[in-house]
Amino acid sequence: MQVGRAASAGTGAGACEDGATATVGQVSLDSQVVLRVEQLTRTYAGAEHPAIQDISFGLNRGECLGLVGESGCGKSTLARCLLRIEDADQGLIQLGGQDIARLRSRHLRPYRRRIQIVFQNPSAALNPKLTIGASLIDPYEQLGREAKLSHFTYTSKEAYIRQLLEAVELPRELGDRYPHELSGGQRQRVTIARAISIEPDVIVLDEPTASLDVISQGAVLQLLTDLRTSLGLSYLFISHDLAAVHRMSQHIMVMQSGRIVDRFGSEALFSEERHPYTKELISIF
């Protein structure tokens, strides 16, 4: 893997609620924010309450921002809205300085590359009829050709696939296999390789280790941390596993019934100031 662009350290602007630009001396920290979300709300047809309501946060370049909350609180709805798989009813999603919340088709296309997602279930995320190599090349063919890649170089399909497999610590022979011929942990590494292949700014990790055994979980979380540092990636790490979120993230947000009820630097998880719901989550895990 070619690496080089160093990740910026977290600046403290992460997870800022009102989306305001923070300043330290003369230095604006706003340039560090790669993804800014303001007042995002989504109500499903027929539902009594919004699935997500007034969600606002900023994600710093090179940072992992954790989002934790119990099942059904709205985490995946937020992820789908950020990826524009679903549309929010109102609110702003600023990526690369552009509000993408309402962009359509060709206007949205240049921003699709900038935000990628890794889902919980790698088996559902990979086309069973494609070899691993073909799956890895697919995002580049769809979105990457227009982009100037700086870590991976595309000289030939084979060379590109090799770099991606190497980046996620998989043997190159796996490129010729089909998804069912891999273990769950290997399949999830392939979906991570797909997500990084077109060098996005942001990756939404939606419960990326929930389907794995404990040993594979630890290894995949470590790989994600290493890739964040070496590729300068920014993560929104969604999980109901508070321990994993604490391990991975510089800042943490806690979601309850569609709203962010608590947000703090990871080191302040056990502080007395925590919201009662955060304390409840701590007592469960």
Whether the CB-CB separation of 8 and 28 falls below 8 Å is answered with no
Beta strands in 178-223 (DSSP E): 202-206
Q: Which of 51, 101, 204, 253 binds ligand ATP (CB under 6 A)?
A: 51
Q: What is the DSSP letter of 100?
A: -
Q: How far is the CB of 16 from ligand ATP (least distance, A)?
A: 23
Q: Does 204 bind ligand ATP (CB under 6 A)?
A: no
Q: Which of 6, 24, 27, 44 binds ligand ATP (CB under 6 A)?
A: 44
Measured CA distances, 186 to 66, 208, 231 (Å)? 24, 12, 20
Q: How far is the CB of 46 from ligand ATP (least distance, A)?
A: 7
Give the binding-site size for ligand ATP (rule: CB under 6 A).
12
| Stretch of 43-51, 125-133, 140-148, 173-181 contacting ligand ATP, by CB under 6 A | 43-51
Place of tokens 């699709």: 112
What does the per-residue mask of binding to ligand ATP show for 240-269, with x meaning CB under 6 A? x-----------------------------
Tally Cβ neighbours within 10 Å of residue 128. Answer: 10
Q: Which of residues 61-80 bind ligand ATP (CB under 6 A)?
A: 69, 71-77
Whether the CB-CB separation of 61 and 200 falls below 8 Å is answered with no
Q: How far is the CB of 282 from ligand ATP (least distance, A)?
A: 18
Compute the distance between CA of residue 134 and CA of residue 40 in angstroms, rounded to an integer: 36
In sequence order, which residues have a C-beta less than 8 Å from that of residue 209 and are 6 or more positions away? 188, 216, 217, 220, 221, 239, 241, 244
Tally Cβ neighbours within 10 Å of residue 107. Answer: 11
Q: Which one, 72 or 128, has the nearer CB to ligand ATP?
A: 72
Would you tell me which residues interact with ligand ATP (CB under 6 A)? 44, 47, 51, 69, 71-77, 240
